[in-house]
């Protein structure tokens, strides 16, 4: 195992370098799926007919008027599907539905010579509906008993008994919103039937293998008849793990029926109204503390708002339940989880995958209870942190729990937290209309897919006769820098300069049966597979070189393109040894494979060790809230985050900063508003454009933003000692939400406990501070 | 389908230095789609409504401090005919992977791109600020929104990035030096901007025209009631892209000299309706503090580079940001038609939801602000996001306090009724009263009841009402007269 994590003395991994496509990005030369359209002849454009109802039966569908629109070539409907009319893996997502399940649901698709003609054709299609009762909110679904999938139960110790015996018991409810991915590149696919009769689909997908499978089953073909390629994505964040499949299938179906390339690219409104988002949750909870502020028991019910179909809601719920402890030791835990079925988009993976939702519940509890317990929230959190030897509620030892304390103390010291807290108190005492606060929150996040089978990866590495190297792996590039890291891994393992290695686009005919690039696992899994392939080739070359050098293969070293023995002697050039190997008929390419060892998980009992390791981090956020409006400015953020021994420090820094800001957006700004009224637009998403759904812009960036990687953080058992980084930093943004809570509380008397809506928009913060301001403290604790 | 192009010369655009015929395309084709169809796929569509900036490109426009400014605009909003005869630079034209432009170099090496999709747009917005002729790298003034190199971070307020969290983009911006001596785009600023072309494009039933003079426009408006007037196209572009609007006749007026007057006189300030918000901001240079406060909060730099003051008033939105400010400044409008001109106070201009005094054949020619200005003024904008958001509530204040007593008070409100309006009851409560917290508290209660705010996805009606009262309290708390 340790050979996987051990680094050679000279390594390309660990060197800070920009994204491998940076020069292409900045010059506009990096190609995305839809950029290929103008390089393709005779492309047809696809446009959906979207339902104006939230729940309805389709009683009539007349497509003929569309054919009267000049330029319309074909209307795709359920009758056209030769295989299975389904876009998901759970077989609950008809590609062409006869029952509309959410506002904006696509009924059928129009193909035309121009996008304009397709749009007009879609407008001409006549659909008759019989409207049905709809459930829009998670509360409505709970009241109606509308659930889907399998509910789960997680238990350790005796929560009921511990709550009965606890010195302080609090209970509450907390409902919080989901999040739109808002990757800048909307869903896109471009399909054609190639010269060999194979369906070739370019897709903006995090999961090419599954896109391939869905396209194949819709077309009634075997998987080997379909190839899916993803050049790169303009952002994914989980939104392109399951959701691209149906769009790719529409393009592929249209292409097989017309014999022409078909392009499907959603505009922003279509993307936002049709594709799934982060799950909003409802939670009911009861928490018990002892007199020293230790959490002794937690009893919670989590209800994920799954939307209209199951999608990934079950594993999202499982991850939420497995992260309700966040970084805190809670001896007695009972968590029930269930998935509501509502008439909304089918909620799906989003960076953190349920983890953030589970963790938000416990952070909300601590933030609300701290003043009632008479504790500073920072102190309350600190004293509940996991310690070495602790284990999670599902029974996994919390290995490296000491890193939590290390991150905590480094943030505290590096951010000069004690001095700044005192300064904030002075500021608040003299500023009636502005209040500042500083909050520190930890992150512990489990790395691996909860579904054990997904924890495998493949790679294909070619060394050509001239010594150049081409690598291919099953992971996709969505901006997270995976390809950059993979190039570094290959160069390190082979012992060649980075410039020798080139990476080819992700395609299902190169590496089959891949897992989604998700769960932060891309570098761990694919890196290990690439390393495995490179090691096979390197060992063969060491054999060849040992003959030329007259030494044992064990004593051959390859570094920076030079091959030599352990002791002084002749230097061989990489390309000469490669060439010699070719002439000796030595195989110069290899398929690599990796499976994560040591995982086991009983999904029914919710027990086991589902995670290879935990990623840790701590953030301190200081902000200032305006008492007149609830608006805030983020003054300073200090982060120490554990990425193991970084494969690529500049990339990892970018993931931490970007994840933090995206998390801050989820918690404080991004506001999904469905029409919950009984009016004609019930169920319609009101925030379906960039003008109404606001992402963080540069004004939400912290004014001072200090991010450091935890040092001496080698992760034994992961590729070159590194750790996953994609998702964990998102949850560092809890510090912002908790600081907002504390700043709102500062408008009231000491000991004020603040309930804060999520997202904590300026309006939500205003109401929170207004309540604090006008409250006279009545009770402290129960 | 027959096509006729009836101009003397075929419409064309200089793109990255090469003259390129616009060609036989639908007149509603956006600059973005047109560029992408020509293989320049660097500019992207992220939102199609001028909110994300992924489509940003540089256009040579009349400058305020040099003859020409490289101005960043949203290519997704502009109809292609509007750039006839103009010069455009895209990310591909700034540099190549082998020879990066300084802006591209800084962004690339500092980790300023992750997924890269928004990046070409950031590059163009950043390049515009790099080439801003009034940017000085030597004064050293630096705060949270201005770099030590004079870089104004607000130049990036119309560009969204979902990956980086912006820090490396900011650092790249702040690391930029001056353009080098042999920088052709820097040199280009000192030659005159391309003259506006007289354009006529027809395709199918639809027409795009840019008449040579105001009289031609007014006559056209009289003859063709279906004519749609366009300046920066920040409104029309959204309707074309998102709502499928296809006006049969689009008439461009943004380069008409008669609509681009600017005069800061003794008794009044005259602002041509076709001046963009960015141009006005630079021409006023802080001389109207209320407007100086408003500009950075009005949409984004990319939008302000296109949007005109006349357009913002002409659209009649209840929440446009200039109306509350201009109401407080007691502005009046010069309305012009082929029948002649008239002057109307802005306070009378808005007559109902998206209804105004302006007749169908009239357009706004000039905005007039009386001088002297009231000594106390402020612009408050309540929105979810600090910058580049649509107001939930906007308030403009112009107050004169003499010897501790409020002599004059004008308060303009946006977002709380079907039209922008004056807070008359609040003004009356204040006038003649001592400028004290007690007066202000009473007036704040009155102000909270102004208008008829509604609930929507931006804010609740109760928050809007609360914000009116809170705004006045804040104005008083921040404006203690000397």
**Distance separating alpha carbons of residues A682 and A670, to the nearest angstrom:** 21
Q: How many CB pairs under 8 A join A and B?
A: 257
> Least CA distance to B160: which residue of chain A?
A697
| Domains, chain B | 1-195 (3.10.20.30), 376-482 (3.30.390.50)
Which of A628, A687, A767 has the CB atom closest to B474's CB atom? Answer: A628
Test A232 with B115 for CB contact under 8 angstroms.
Answer: yes
Q: Which of A28, A235, A236 sits opposite B41 (nearest CB)?
A: A28
In a 3-state reduction of DSSP, which class is residue A644?
strand
Residues in chain B where the model's pLDDT stays below 70: 1-8, 140, 480-482
Name residue A775's beta-bridge partners: none
Picking from A29, A653, A660, the nearest residue to B111 by CB comes out as: A653
Verify whether the Cβ–Cβ distance A267 to B95 is below 8 Å: no
Instruction: Using the Cα atoms of residue B467, residue B468, residue B470 and residue B476 in order, give the sign of their dihedral.
Output: positive
Mutate to test the interface with B, among A15, A20, A23, A28 (most CBs of B within 10 A): A28
Q: How far apart are CA A231 and CA A239, in angstroms?
A: 17
* Identity of the residue in B52, B166, B242 whose CB atom sits nearest the CB atom of A701: B166
Residue of chain B minimizing CA distance to A763: B463
Q: Which residues pair with A436 in a beta bridge?
A: A624
Judged by CB atoms within 8 Å, which residues 268-327 of B form the interface with A?
none
| Eight-state DSSP code of residue A775 | P
Q: How far is CA A759 from CA A482, A664, A688, B237, B354, in A?
A: 30, 9, 17, 31, 32
Given a cut of 90, whether residue A714 has pLDDT beyond it is yes
Residue A650, H or E segment: helix A649-668
Q: Does pTM top 0.95 for this prediction? A: yes
> Which among B51, B114, B385 has CB closest to A479?
B114
When CB atoms are compared, the residue of B38, B44, B477 closest to A433 is: B477
ipTM: 0.97
Contact with chain B for residue A651, Cβ under 8 A:
yes
Whole-number pLDDT of residue B8: 61
A679 touches A506 (CB < 8 A): no
| Residue A775 confidence class, pLDDT cut points 50, 70, 90 | confident
Tokens of A274: 């049709």
**Closest chain A residue to B109 measured between Cα atoms?**
A18
Q: Give B106 to chain A, closest Cα distance, Å.
A: 10
- Pair A344, A674: CB distance under 8 Å: yes
Contact across the interface for B113 and A21, Cβ inside 8 Å: yes
Q: Kindly state whether B206 is in contact with chain A, defined as any CB-CB distance less than 8 angstroms.
A: no
For A476, nearest residue in chain B (alpha carbons) = B115
- Quick one: pLDDT at residue A226? 98
Average pLDDT, chain A: 96
Which band of pLDDT confidence, cut at 50, 70 and 90, is reported for residue A21? very high
Chain B residue with Cα closest to A767: B463
**Taking a C-beta distance cutoff of 8 angstroms, is the pair B157, A699 a contact?**
yes
Phi-psi region of A189 (alpha: psi -120 to 50; beta: other; left: phi over 0): beta
Q: Taken in order A742, A748, A751, A752, is the CA torsion positive or negative?
A: negative
List all residues of chain A from 17 to 36 with a beta carbon under 8 Å from chain B: 18-19, 21-32, 35
User: Quick check: bond before A28 cis, omega within 30?
Assistant: no
Q: Residue A258: which H helix or E strand, with range?
A: helix A244-258
Residue B136 confidence (pLDDT): 86
Chain B: residue nearest A698 by CA?
Answer: B166
**B49 interfaces chain A, CB cutoff of 8 Å:** yes
Chain B positions touching A698 (Cβ under 8 A) are 153, 156-157, 159, 166, 169-170, 387
B237 at the A interface (CB within 8 A)? Answer: no
Interface test with B, best of A15, A26, A667 (most B CBs within 10 A): A26
Which residues of A are part of the catalytic machinery? 727
Report pLDDT for B2.
Answer: 38
- Verify whether the Cβ–Cβ distance B474 to A629 is below 8 Å: yes
Q: How far is CA A79 from the centre of its chain?
A: 36
Strands A501-503, A469-473: pairing is: parallel
Q: B117–A185: do the CB atoms touch at under 8 Å?
A: yes
Chain B residues in contact with A38 (beta carbon < 8 A): 36-39, 41
Chain B residue with minimum CA distance to A271: B47
Contact list in B for residue A266 (CB cut-off 8 A) is none
Q: Where are the beta strands (DSSP E) in A70-224?
A: 72-76, 99-100, 106-112, 126-131, 152-156, 168-176, 188-193, 199-203
Nearest CA in chain B to A119: B244
> For residues A780 and A489, which has the higher predicted lDDT (pLDDT)?
A489
* B203 touching chain A per CB within 8 A: no
Distance CA B375, CA A284 (A): 54
Q: CB of B426 within 8 Å of any CB in chain A?
A: no
Reported as a single tens digit per residue, the pLDDT across A320-352 is 999 999 999 999 999 999 999 999 999 999 999
- Placement of tokens 């939008």 in the chain: B303
Q: Whose CA is closest to B169, among A478, A728, A701?
A: A701
Asked whether the beta carbons of residue A28 and residue B43 sit closer than 8 angstroms, the reply is yes
pLDDT reported for residue B480: 62
φ/ψ (deg, to 5) at A755: -95, 130
Helix pair angle (A649-668, A734-745), 10° resolution: 40
Listed in sequence order, the DSSP H helices in B230-345 are 236-243, 277-284, 289-294, 301-304, 309-314, 322-328
Mean pLDDT of A280-294: 98
The dihedral sign for the CA sequence A232, A233, A236, A242: negative
Closest to B384 (Cβ–Cβ): which among A22, A31, A694? A694
Residues A93-123: b if buried by 16+ CB within 10 A, e if exposed? bbbbbeebbbbbbbbbbbbbbebbbbbbbbe
Q: For the segment A185-226, what is each residue's pLDDT rounded down to a tens digit?
A: 999 999 999 999 999 999 999 999 999 999 999 999 999 999
pLDDT tens-digit map of A577-611: 999 999 999 999 999 999 999 899 999 999 999 99
Task: Tell me which residue in A25, A660, A669 faces B119 most closely, judged by beta carbons.
Answer: A25
A605 in reach of chain B (CB within 8 A): no
The pLDDT assigned to A562 comes to 97
- Most A CBs within 10 A among B44, B153, B163, B319, hence the mutation to make, goes to B163
CATH (residue range A2-29+456-595): 3.30.365.10
Which residues in chain B are closer than 8 Å to A32, comparing Cβ atoms? Answer: 44, 117
């Amino acid at each position: 195992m340790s050979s996987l994590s051990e680094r050679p003395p000279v390594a390309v991994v660990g060197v800070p370098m920009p994204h491998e496509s940076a020069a292409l990005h900045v010059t506009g030369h990096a190609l995305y799926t839809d950029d290929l359209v103008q390089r393709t002849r005779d492309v047809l454009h696809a446009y959906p007919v979207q339902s104006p109802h939230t729940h309805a039966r389709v009683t009539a569908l007349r497509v003929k008027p569309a054919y009267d629109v000049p330029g319309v070539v074909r209307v795709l409907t359920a009758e056209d599907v030769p295989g299975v009319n389904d876009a998901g893996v759970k077989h609950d997502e008809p590609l062409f539905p006869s029952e509309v399940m959410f506002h904006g649901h696509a009924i059928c698709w129009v193909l035309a010579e121009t996008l304009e003609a397709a749009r007009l054709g879609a407008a001409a299609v006549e659909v008759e509906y019989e409207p049905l009762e709809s459930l829009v909110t998670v509360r409505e679904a709970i009241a109606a008993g509308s659930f889907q999938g399998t509910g789960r139960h997680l238990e350790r110790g005796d929560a009921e008994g511990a709550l009965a015996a606890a010195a302080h018991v609090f209970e509450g409810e907390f409902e919080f919103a989901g999040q739109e991915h808002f990757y800048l590149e909307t869903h896109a696919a471009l399909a054609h039937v190639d010269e060999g009769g194979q369906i070739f689909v370019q897709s903006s997908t995090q999961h090419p293998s599954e896109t391939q499978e869905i396209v194949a089953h819709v077309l009634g073909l075997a998987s080997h008849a379909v190839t899916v390629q993803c050049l790169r994505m303009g952002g994914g964040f989980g939104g392109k793990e399951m959701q691209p499949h149906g769009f790719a299938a529409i393009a592929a179906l249209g292409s097989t029926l017309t014999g022409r390339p078909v392009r499907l690219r959603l505009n922003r409104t279509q993307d936002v109204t049709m594709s799934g988002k982060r799950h909003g949750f409802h939670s009911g909870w009861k928490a018990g503390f002892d007199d020293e502020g230790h959490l002794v028991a937690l009893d919670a019910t989590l209800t994920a708002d799954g939307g209209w179909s199951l999608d990934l809601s079950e594993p999202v719920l499982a991850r939420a339940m497995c992260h309700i402890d966040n970084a805190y030791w809670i001896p007695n835990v009972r968590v029930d989880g269930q998935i509501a079925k509502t008439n909304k988009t089918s909620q799906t993976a989003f960076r953190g995958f349920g983890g953030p939702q589970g963790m938000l519940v416990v952070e909300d509890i601590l933030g609300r209870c701290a003043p009632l317990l008479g504790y500073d929230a920072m102190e309350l959190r600190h004293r509940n942190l996991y310690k070495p030897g602790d284990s999670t509620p599902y029974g996994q030892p919390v290995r490296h729990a000491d890193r939590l304390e290390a991150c905590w103390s480094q943030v505290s010291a590096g951010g000069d937290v004690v001095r700044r807290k005192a300064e904030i108190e002075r500021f608040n005492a003299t500023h009636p209309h502005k209040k500042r606060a500083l909050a520190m929150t930890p992150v512990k996040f489990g790395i691996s897919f909860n579904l054990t089978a997904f924890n495998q990866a493949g790679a294909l590495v070619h060394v050509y006769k001239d010594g150049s190297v081409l690598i291919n792996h099953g992971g996709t590039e969505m901006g997270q820098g995976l390809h950059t890291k993979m190039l570094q891994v290959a160069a390190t393992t082979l012992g060649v300069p980075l410039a020798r290695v080139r990476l080819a686009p992700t395609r299902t005919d190169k590496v089959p049966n891949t897992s989604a690039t998700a769960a932060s696992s891309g570098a761990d899994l694919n890196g290990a597979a690439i390393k495995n392939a490179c090691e096979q080739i390197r060992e063969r070359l060491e054999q060849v070189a040992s003959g030329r050098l007259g030494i044992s293969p064990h004593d051959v070293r390859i570094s920076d393109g030079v091959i030599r023995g352990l002791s002084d002697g002749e230097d061989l050039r990489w390309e000469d040894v490669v060439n010699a190997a070719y002439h000796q008929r030595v195989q110069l390419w290899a398929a690599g494979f990796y499976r994560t060892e040591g995982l086991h998980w009983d999904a029914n009992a919710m027990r086991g060790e589902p995670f290879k390791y935990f990623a840790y981090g701590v953030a301190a956020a200081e902000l200032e809230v305006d008492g007149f409006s609830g608006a805030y400015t983020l003054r300073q953020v200090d982060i120490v985050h554990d990425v193991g021994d970084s494969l690529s420090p500049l990339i990892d820094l970018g993931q931490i900063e970007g994840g933090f800001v995206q998390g801050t957006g989820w918690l404080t700004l991004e506001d999904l508003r469905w029409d919950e009224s009984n009016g004609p637009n019930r169920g319609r998403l009101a925030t379906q454009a960039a003008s109404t759904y606001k992402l963080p812009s540069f004004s939400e960036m912290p004014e001072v933003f200090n991010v450091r990687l935890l040092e001496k953080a080698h992760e034994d058992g992961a590729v070159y000692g590194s750790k996953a980084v994609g998702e964990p930093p998102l949850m560092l943004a809890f510090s912002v939400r908790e600081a907002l809570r504390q700043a709102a509380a500062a408008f009231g008397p000491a000991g004020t406990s603040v309930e804060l809506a999520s997202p904590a928009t300026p309006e939500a913060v205003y109401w929170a501070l207004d309540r604090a301001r006008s409250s006279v403290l009545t009770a402290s604790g129960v | 389908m027959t096509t006729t192009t009836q101009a003397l010369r075929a419409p064309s655009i200089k793109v990255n230095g090469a003259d390129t015929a616009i060609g036989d395309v639908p007149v509603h084709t956006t600059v973005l789609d047109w560029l992408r169809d020509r293989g320049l796929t660097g500019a992207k569509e992220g939102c199609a409504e001028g909110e994300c900036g992924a489509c940003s490109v540089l256009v040579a426009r009349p400058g305020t401090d040099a003859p020409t400014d490289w101005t960043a605009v949203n290519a997704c909003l502009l109809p292609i005919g509007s750039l006839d005869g103009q010069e455009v630079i895209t990310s591909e034209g700034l540099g190549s992977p082998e020879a990066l432009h300084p802006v591209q170099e800084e962004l690339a090496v500092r980790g300023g791109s992750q997924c890269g999709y928004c990046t070409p747009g950031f590059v163009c917005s950043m390049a515009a600020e790099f080439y801003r002729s009034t940017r000085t790298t030597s004064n050293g003034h630096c705060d949270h929104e201005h770099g030590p190199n004079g870089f104004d971070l607000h130049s990036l307020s119309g560009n969204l990035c979902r990956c980086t969290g912006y820090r490396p983009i900011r650092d790249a911006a702040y690391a930029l030096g001056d353009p080098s001596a042999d920088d052709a785009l820097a040199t280009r600023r000192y030659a005159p901007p391309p003259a506006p072309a007289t354009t006529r494009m027809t395709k199918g039933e639809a027409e795009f025209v840019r008449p040579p003079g105001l009289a031609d426009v007014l006559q056209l408006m009289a003859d063709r009631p279906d004519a749609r007037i366009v300046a920066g196209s920040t409104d029309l572009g959204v309707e074309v892209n998102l709502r499928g609007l296809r006006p049969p006749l689009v008439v461009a007026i943004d380069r008409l000299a008669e609509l681009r007057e600017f005069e800061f006189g003794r008794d009044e300030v005259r602002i041509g309706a076709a001046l963009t918000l960015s141009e006005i901001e630079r021409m006023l240079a802080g001389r109207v503090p209320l407007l100086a406060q408003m500009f950075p909060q009005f949409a984004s730099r990319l939008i302000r580079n296109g949007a005109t003051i006349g357009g913002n008033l002409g659209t009649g939105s209840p929440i446009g940001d200039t109306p509350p400010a201009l109401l407080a400044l007691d502005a009046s409008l010069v309305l012009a038609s082929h029948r002649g001109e008239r002057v109307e106070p802005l306070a009378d201009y808005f007559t109902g939801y998206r209804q105004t005094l302006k007749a169908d054949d009239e357009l706004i020619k000039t905005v007039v602000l009386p001088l002297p200005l009231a000594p106390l003024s402020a612009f408050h904008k309540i929105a979810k996001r600090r910058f580049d958001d649509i107001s939930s509530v906007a308030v403009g204040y112009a107050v004169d306090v003499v010897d501790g007593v409020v002599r004059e008070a004008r308060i303009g409100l946006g977002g709380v009724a079907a039209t922008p309006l004056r807070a008359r009851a609040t003004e009356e409560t204040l006038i003649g009263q001592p400028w004290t917290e007690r007066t202000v508290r009473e007036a704040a209660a009155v102000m909270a009841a102004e208008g008829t705010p509604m609930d929507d996805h931006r804010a609740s009606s109760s928050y809007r009402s609360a914000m009116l009262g809170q705004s006045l309290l804040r104005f008083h708390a921040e404006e203690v007269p000397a």
